[in-house]
Structure 1
């Protein structure tokens, strides 16, 4: 039975890319479902699947994160991994779908949970925004903040793997927006591997992701999805088109995860990849610790 993948809201569940991709469980916010009901839901998932990996965005309300930790504590279960991610909503949904794809493979629950950090580096998540005046999750220069108040200003922003921002002018021309330039003034540095692109349209009327971004990044295919409910809050405006480029093929994802050396967590004995256990959060034994601050 594959490891269960869960999310904190239904808008983080994208349609499957193939019939083998299992669904994701949704653990609603504390104000929409009582604690006893959530405990019963999680206990049922553990009985059916053995282990549970919950993808929890860093931007969720503190009460939602507390609920997840309370459930794990009350069930006294070491079979629940709470994986945090700083990706924007659509990028998080892409990551969740990739974990769903990998859950049917021959990976242990520990490797699957730890793979979330690895895969996040291969998701190019961004948006075209009508304003960056209230954008808090991506570094924005003062000039861009000022220009963000101007009528008709459009910005292309990349939140990860590395933050970038460019201003898009009329007719597809642009000028550097402040955080980082990518060579061309109206270009975002894209992946050097084959990707698909998923986009979700908000209240901004622009075809820039399909007419400029996709050809520039040599995207193989473009799909559209519903805009996650949390996207306007994350990006600071409802005038946006969110996008995410990602590795779409399961064999490639499988090879990527398989190529990383596997270790055993010295604390909970779960298998892991990378430098931190996805279940207990313990760092890899022998990993370099930050130097102590004098005084």
Structure 2
């Protein structure tokens, strides 16, 4: 029997001036602010970091903010070209700096236990399991989250307050009547922890009185202002927050939400249209991941001219209607069912699907070279 290919190992780097929150202890993504006068100076430290790990047989998952990407993209391309290797993956993250810092450290924590392809796929699903945003007095200069003309004009009204969310979905809502609960569309799984960052001296009383009780966190940690916070929120007066689940299995459930397939070229497990490492085109599976014990309806029957009773109508044999063409010649007339179903009866919904207990087995593999 052929031996199973060894699982690839990766390290995580964050190419932006985004300090760590310290919530995961020593499990932190390596930070590269990319400061310097030219490309060589900006990307030198990252190039040496990537060279060291690629030579050791590890892959590099390079994260960067999509709204602050120019230097990061150039540094990653320079590293891939200089090393002549596709073991460096460029992964964009499109949410606020504080949430990005937390997500990068979560990936660094998971990297030793997951294949490289899954680590690179997680940034797409991590925002779905957190509540991140900003408490703003004005959204006039907010360019990273879509706003309406009415919200833009409302920023000039005295006493206006807005909640701008970058995760789980991008949206902006106006805080009315001193209550922020109506703007919260989803909450992480309890218990909830919350991180807060704000400029020095910015008032936080209204935030604590109106927003914090709606989230119901069990703990709150205050952190220094993120260096890129003012650029993301378009204002120097803001309160940035991220609420996430402190449940022991929270990250495990996030990983199970991914449905990977093996890359057609390098055999790395991927979950998107393109492999983040070799950039080969892939075909992700359609639909949600299969679940254990789920009430999955059977595939549709072929069109044979007969009416087929849907599987979810019920188990009453009299629920199926006879064929429109009638019985064949010489056949006995069908017996009248004891009870006719009500024509106004609605079909019963399918039973609830249980959450998968094990993660889907991803494909593993080293780098393949095509036949020449």
Please classify the TM superposition score into its range, dividing by the shorter chain length.
0.7 to 0.9
**Number of the residue aligned with 1:268:** 266
**Hey, what's the Cα distance between the residues in 1 that align with 2:284 and 2:256?**
22
Identify, as 1 or 2, the structure richer in helix: 1
Q: Which residues in structure 2 correspond to 1:163-242 (within 5 Å)?
A: 163-168=170-175, 172-173=178-179, 184=182, 187-191=183-187, 193-194=189-190, 195-202=192-199, 204-242=202-240
**Hey, what's the Cα distance between the residues in 2 that align with 1:258 and 1:45?**
27
Q: CA deviation at 1:50?
A: 1.1
Q: CA deviation at 1:259?
A: 5.1
Matched, 1:86 2:84: no
Label 1:95 to 1:286 Cα distance change in 2 as closer, same or farther (>3 A): closer
Label 1:260 to 1:62 Cα distance change in 2 as closer, same or farther (>3 A): closer
Contact kept in structure 2, 1:198 and 1:243, CA below 8 Å:
yes
**Number of the residue aligned with 2:49:** 41
**Hey, what's the Cα distance between the residues in 2 that align with 1:256 and 1:286?**
18
Contact kept in structure 2, 1:275 and 1:283, CA below 8 Å:
yes
What stretches of structure 2 of length at least 5 have no aligned partner? Answer: 1-7, 287-372
**Hey, what's the Cα distance between the residues in 2 that align with 1:247 and 1:45?**
32
Contact kept in structure 2, 1:199 and 1:225, CA below 8 Å:
yes
Q: Which residues in structure 2 correspond to 1:44-83 (within 5 Å)?
A: 44-47=52-55, 50-83=58-91
Aligned residue for 1:121, secondary structure, equals helix
Match of 1:143 among 141, 145, 150: 150
Greater shift, 143-152 or 228-237, is seen at 143-152
After TM superposition, which residue ranges in structure 1, 4 or more long, deviate above 4 angstroms? 34-37
What stretches of structure 1 of length at least 5 have no aligned partner? Answer: 175-181, 289-295
Aligned residue for 1:45, secondary structure, equals helix
Report the TM-score, using the length of structure 1 for normalisation: 0.81
Q: CA deviation at 1:190?
A: 2.8
Contact kept in structure 2, 1:102 and 1:254, CA below 8 Å:
no
Contact kept in structure 2, 1:196 and 1:247, CA below 8 Å:
yes
Aligned residue for 1:11, secondary structure, equals coil
Identify, as 1 or 2, the structure richer in strand: 1
Greater shift, 59-68 or 26-35, is seen at 26-35
Report the TM-score, using the length of structure 2 for normalisation: 0.66
Label 1:199 to 1:2 Cα distance change in 2 as closer, same or farther (>3 A): farther
Total equivalences in the alignment: 274
